[in-house]
Amino acid sequence: MNVANFPEKIKDYLIPKPEGKLVFRCLNCQSVYNTEKLFYTCPKCGEVLLIYDENFSRLKKIPSALWRDIFDYRKMLNINSLKGIYRYYEFIGSALPLDSIIYLGEGHTPAIEANSYMQNLSGMRFFFKNDGQNPSASFKDRGMASAFSYINFLIKKGKFKNILAICASTGDTSAAAALYASYIGDVVKSAVLLPYKKVTPQQLLQPLGSGAKVFEIPGLFDDCMKIVENLSKNYNVALLNSKNAWRILGQESYAYEIAQEFEYNLKDKVILIPIGNAGNITAIMNGFIKFYEARIIDNLPKIIGVQSEHADPVYRYYSEADPAKRKFIPLKAKASVAQAAMIGNPVSMPRVIHLETLYNKLAGKQKVFFVQTTEQEIIDWQLIANQNGHIACTHGGETLAGLVKAKKEKIVNETETAIIDSTAHALKFSNFTDKYFQNNFEKEFEITPKPELCNAPIFVKPDNDKLIPSDTKELSENQFEQFVNKISDKIAANLKLEKNVRN
Ligand SMILES: *Cc1c(COP(=O)(O)O)cnc(C)c1O
Ligand SMILES: [Zn+2]
């Protein structure tokens, strides 16, 4: 809809202005740095940063009903920069001019309600929010849209002539970074570091296809992360991992979308998120906190972080009930079908600790929980979801398995509604589905296929080899008719089809 046609009360608010004052703040020593430069960690103490808007209090002056109207009316705008995550501009990027914003179609992924079969099976009403329907097929695009819009802003301001964007990745970060970098063009080159043989073939081809330099490193993600940290310390590069607080800012949009999709009523809602490097759960907690502080939502939803028992350092940390006794111990991740979360030393752990405390304090009771699942549960639940209309990837399976676990542990009950994150598209991880169907998982996955969940193609040919066409042999008209009939008969027999009475 054309801006001129919107109601008067909303017109002044439709197109946002850069009125925020964004700063990096250290979660440890509280030092504040302006965002004119790229910082990843605090120059004073080395801790991770988050971006805060020092003018945030201005947002609290707008009544909550007006905020809701602003976001709802913005849905109708045909302005590209405001079509994606920046519908919530004031909360995630209020220092960027709109002409710096990069929009590749990210955000506003659908929340799909599970059918009654799935709801009975899980014992809960729930929705899959399909973040695999982002441009590079994972939620990482949300954070990249933010980080690259900011880089684009710095380029436009003449602060940079050439940028090398670099990241370590379990597969999806690199796909997203390479995609957004390629859009900006020659000024930005991208390089990605992947753990050798620890990303799927699709994920390896994504950054290659976007024209990025791809380095395969013997080791795990945590090792690649140490190398890019080293590179970003010693060389002039832009680090695109979620250590970069701009990534977190963009990923907050996931929380804002849930608020908007559920009419800003988050009472009795439960959000489930798989945890790897812990950037996403950081962003989602922070997003809900900001909407809560601006009174756009009246309730903070329950948050449940899910980890596989093969990569569960966050779960282990919180399994100690007494906060004073908790101790974070990094571990070596083992083989996981939730491969994008196969991380033993999550970079955002200090952010999680900070925000989990704040979240529960604001809510007045415990609202953040952590559960653990087995590899078997992860893939079984993924396949069940896939067989019931969902494009859930293994991580979607992990969050669904996490919901079932949370129900069992009485963290949630059937009066609540869950929104579970399918963080990527099933197609990215179809090699794990293949391993399941072919029963050839390596032992370390600890997965035994259940026959009732398996599927395989059936090759059908006529018994008479003379009736098989090939590249070099064409069948006669009569032979071809026999070919069609024989195969039809076999398929009909297999499917136990009944003969049409007219014949
Ligand atoms: C990156 C990723 C995760 C883990 O998210 P973190 O922010 O690292 O915790 C989970 N699922 C998919 C598909 C991912 O790409
Ligand atoms: Zn510091």
The CATH number of whichever domain residue 242 belongs to comes to 3.40.50.1100
Burial group, residue 334, by CB count within 10 angstroms (0-12, 13-18, 19+): middle
Mark whether 371 and 415 lie in a shared domain.
yes
Average pLDDT (48-61) is 97
Residue-wise pLDDT for 87-105, tens only, equals 999 999 999 999 999 999 9
Mark whether 245 and 256 lie in a shared domain.
no
On the question of pLDDT at 271 being above 80, the answer is yes
Residue-wise pLDDT for 443-479, tens only, equals 999 999 999 999 999 999 999 988 888 888 888 999 9
Mark whether 425 and 314 lie in a shared domain.
yes
308 vs 274: CA distance, rounded Å: 9
- Of ligand 1's listed atoms, the one at least distance from the Cα of 428 is 13
35 vs 24: CA distance, rounded Å: 6
Q: DSSP secondary structure string, 42-94? A: -TTT--BEEEEETTTHHHHTS-HHHHHHHHHHHTT---GGGTSGGGGHHHH-T
Average pLDDT (210-238) is 95
- Which residue's C-alpha comes closest to atom 14 of ligand 1? 340
Which pLDDT band holds residue 211 (cuts at 50, 70, 90)?
A: very high
Residue that is last in its domain, among 188, 221, 249: 249
Mark whether 282 and 295 lie in a shared domain.
yes
| CA end-to-end distance (rounded Å), the chain | 56
Pocket test for ligand 1, best of 133, 138, 244, 373 (most atoms within 8 A of CB): 138
Ranges of beta strands (E only) in 332-401 are 368-373
**207 in contact with ligand 1, CB cutoff 6 A:** no
Residue 283 lies in a domain: yes
262 vs 296: CA distance, rounded Å: 12
Which pLDDT band holds residue 502 (cuts at 50, 70, 90)?
A: confident
Q: What percentage of the chain carries pLDDT values higher than 90?
A: 93
Residue that is last in its domain, among 453, 476, 493: 453
Note the pLDDT of residue 470.
Answer: 84
Q: From ligand 1's centre to the CA of 351, what distance in Å? A: 16
**Eight-class DSSP state of 410:** T
Arithmetic mean of pLDDT over the chain: 96
Angle, CA 501 vertex, CA 500 and CA 503 arms, to 5°: 75
489 vs 128: CA distance, rounded Å: 40
Q: Which helix (H) or strand (E) holds 397?
A: helix 394-408
Q: How many domains does the chain have?
A: 3
**280 in contact with ligand 1, CB cutoff 6 A:** yes
Mark whether 128 and 270 lie in a shared domain.
yes
- Of ligand 1's listed atoms, the one at least distance from the Cα of 132 is 13
**395 in contact with ligand 1, CB cutoff 6 A:** yes
**What is the extent of the structural domain holding 145?**
139-249
Q: From ligand 2's centre to the CA of 353, what distance in Å? A: 16
Which pLDDT band holds residue 3 (cuts at 50, 70, 90)?
A: confident
Q: From ligand 2's centre to the CA of 249, what distance in Å? A: 19
> What is the 3-state composition of the chain as percent helix, strand, coil, each rounded to the nearest 5?
45, 15, 40
Mark whether 261 and 365 lie in a shared domain.
yes
Note the pLDDT of residue 153.
Answer: 95
Note the pLDDT of residue 503.
Answer: 58
Pocket test for ligand 1, best of 139, 337, 342 (most atoms within 8 A of CB): 139
C-alpha closest to that of 131 among 73, 85, 74, 178: 85
Is the pTM value of this prediction over 0.95? yes
Strand order of the sheet with strand 22-26?
Answer: 32-34, 22-26, 49-53
Mark whether 244 and 257 lie in a shared domain.
no
On the question of pLDDT at 305 being above 90, the answer is yes
**305 in contact with ligand 1, CB cutoff 6 A:** no
239 vs 168: CA distance, rounded Å: 9
- Which residue's C-alpha comes closest to atom 5 of ligand 1? 276
**172 in contact with ligand 1, CB cutoff 6 A:** yes
- Which residue's C-alpha comes closest to atom 15 of ligand 1? 172
Residue-wise pLDDT for 129-177, tens only, equals 999 999 999 999 999 999 999 999 999 998 888 899 999 999 999 999 9
Which pLDDT band holds residue 500 (cuts at 50, 70, 90)?
A: confident
Residue 152 lies in a domain: yes
**279 in contact with ligand 1, CB cutoff 6 A:** yes
Residue that is last in its domain, among 249, 269, 287: 249
Note the pLDDT of residue 347.
Answer: 96
Mark whether 426 and 288 lie in a shared domain.
yes
- Of ligand 1's listed atoms, the one at least distance from the Cα of 429 is 13
Contact yes or no for 178/206 (Cβ under 8 A): yes
Note the pLDDT of residue 501.
Answer: 80
Which pLDDT band holds residue 408 (cuts at 50, 70, 90)?
A: very high
Average pLDDT (14-19) is 95
Nearest ligand (C-alpha, residue 176)? 1
User: What's the Cα-to-Cα distance from 323 to each of 319, 320, 475, rounded to whole Å?
Assistant: 10, 7, 76
Residue 372 lies in a domain: yes
